[in-house]
Structure 1
């Protein structure tokens, strides 16, 4: 073991096992799958044995490490610091009655600016991709969190503020419009009138931004996709709080429904038929805490947040042109034909939500 990590890790194990640790032995790090594009971030299960008050005790936890600025990108560092600060601040302690977070056992800031979090390992009690029951439970619990934080002062300097740009990707709009306008015969045959609707969606991004900024704001996870949603111990537990910050009511539900299908964390045939039920579950729980918020505001936030994800339509067109539909990262062995079918169904939700948001907006 790295000598510099020995004492901090021992302190984390002490917190985890609840006794005085005098020695660690047999420490093993097992890398876990993580988004490949996040170079210089590692997530591992670290386990071993500890001598605790004279007794040998086995232990295991998650070690999340982000390298310092000499290696990691500014994007990655920003995300890593935000989660680091969120745990240090206490915001995640009891963030909402129905929402759990991994308990933090320890954290370390390297001399080179790198960060390590030692976190409780959460195990999902259910199927993946997520089933309808888990999605509806998560929708309810996200709504409860949203309602609890509506109207609170959300001014922590490290809160994420650029979530709209992250989803709407203004830097990609020019290329996206060019893709939609190319008139590829195969794309036109498969997508039909969706192409014109998708072009209008891209051109309306500033309107969706204005809608979202006008709605009641609350505390959002901003990455509540299925991979970050666990059913554990009878409650919803969310991991990866790297994007925590203010956002409109309904935004986290858009991540849960839309982005989960996009990534393959949920199947379109499971998630999309329960959209109305998910909205009801989310809004009922939110309005129990914040009764002044209307269902119409929640639905508008949900639809406008989905409308930010216009790039799915351009990616589907580009995939049809290349004969290589976009992959869904949580389903690496999915056949291209199935992936394309799933994503076209999701494009339909995208366009329907975008149209509804413009007609709902005051």
Structure 2
């Protein structure tokens, strides 16, 4: 969750006020709510706020299935669905969100989980004061990913729960279809932002990734498993003393060992938190740190399988090329949609990162057969 510096707070209504009294105890004055940046498109989130009540503070996140969102981001009642509406509450209440705490990564402390009369669920969480991951140095990102290696190596898989996500990657990208029809459209690739800022050869590589999608997903589903966060990126972490606090556990469940790392690295650049020019060295350092963490935990597995998971996870961004083609004529805004972003900067940074992911995909195609997996389909 991002910080709310400079955001004007509003006075809470009666429902949030009464909950604040129950959760935080007696205080003087009103309850102030300052909105926290989040994905407003997601149908499971009614809102996220920093709460100030006298000298008390918390974060309030309201989960809902009645927001009315349709399409890809619609809330689901299926506990196995990637966007099951109350998974985050279940992960917190069960204690799974604190599973990695002994290894330096924890969730904010759950203060209360309130079942509201309208069917929504209000999560009252500790407000973590450390610096947001969106402002971290590369060194801080790398150290967080070392801790992730320790945590996932030590914990590995966890006992199944009926509400943990399964086949997340396949289901998530299946619904991300805007612009897919433009991958073979010459005019779409001639748009000025695309023509001037996407590297040469990117079209061929992204079209091939799209046509190889099912092969990549089969690889990811066949690799060693781990309990995964599945939304691991800089906007969801904060410093927490010598460790990290990790937010937004709404997708948590089964994933490939290394899949969270494969999500974190490109997302660091896609939303302009790390310059694309630094990605190759950053990714190399982060991968070595993650492996070091795995070994530090006592993990004895085959690191080549971890490398394959990281590289094959490039398939998660198959949808992004089509979306960038579809939106090349639109105004560009930051995550959360609050501030404009330079279109030239966005397309240059994302184009470079997609080219980097094409390199990962190529490495996965070479590595998989050497590890006993089927060869990828022939390129176009």
Quickly name the TM-score band, shorter chain normalised.
Answer: 0.7 to 0.9
Distance 2:334 2:275 in 1: 11
Which one is further off, 112-121 or 65-74?
65-74
Is the 1:250–1:299 contact (alpha carbons within 8 Å) kept by the matching residues of 2? yes
Shift of 1:128: 3.5
1:28 counterpart = 2:28? no
1:226-273 deviations in Å (ceiling 9; x for gaps): 100111212111111111111011111112101222223333234442
- Equivalent of 1:247, from 239, 255, 273? 255
- Give the corresponding residue for 1:311: 319
Taking a change above 3 Å as real, the CA distance of residues 26 and 168 of structure 1, as seen in their structure-2 partners, is: closer
- Give the corresponding residue for 1:225: 233
Q: SS state of the match for residue 63, structure 1? A: strand
- Give the corresponding residue for 1:121: 127
Distance 2:106 2:67 in 1: 34
Distance 2:195 2:184 in 1: 10
Is the 2:145–2:290 contact (alpha carbons within 8 Å) kept by the matching residues of 1? yes
- Give the corresponding residue for 1:42: 47
- Equivalent of 1:339, from 343, 346, 350? 346
1:58-78 deviations in Å (ceiling 9; x for gaps): 101111112353756652775
Distance 1:164 1:38 in 2: 17
1:179 counterpart = 2:182? yes
Is the 1:328–1:339 contact (alpha carbons within 8 Å) kept by the matching residues of 2? no
TM-score (norm 2): 0.81
- Give the corresponding residue for 2:376: none
Is the 2:132–2:234 contact (alpha carbons within 8 Å) kept by the matching residues of 1? no
Q: Which runs of 5+ in 1 are unaligned?
A: 15-20, 50-57
1:110-157 deviations in Å (ceiling 9; x for gaps): 12210101111113336734320121011111111211222x443111
1:34-53 deviations in Å (ceiling 9; x for gaps): 2232366111111123xxxx
- Equivalent of 2:56, from 55, 59, 70? 59
1:256 counterpart = 2:259? no
- Equivalent of 1:10, from 15, 21, 25? 21
Distance 2:283 2:254 in 1: 23
Taking a change above 3 Å as real, the CA distance of residues 167 and 290 of structure 1, as seen in their structure-2 partners, is: farther
- Give the corresponding residue for 1:75: 75
Q: SS state of the match for residue 308, structure 1? A: helix
Q: SS state of the match for residue 43, structure 1? A: strand
Shift of 1:3: 5.0
- Equivalent of 1:146, from 148, 152, 157? 152
Which one is further off, 343-352 or 327-336?
327-336
Equivalenced residues, count: 342
TM-score (norm 1): 0.85
- Give the corresponding residue for 1:155: 160
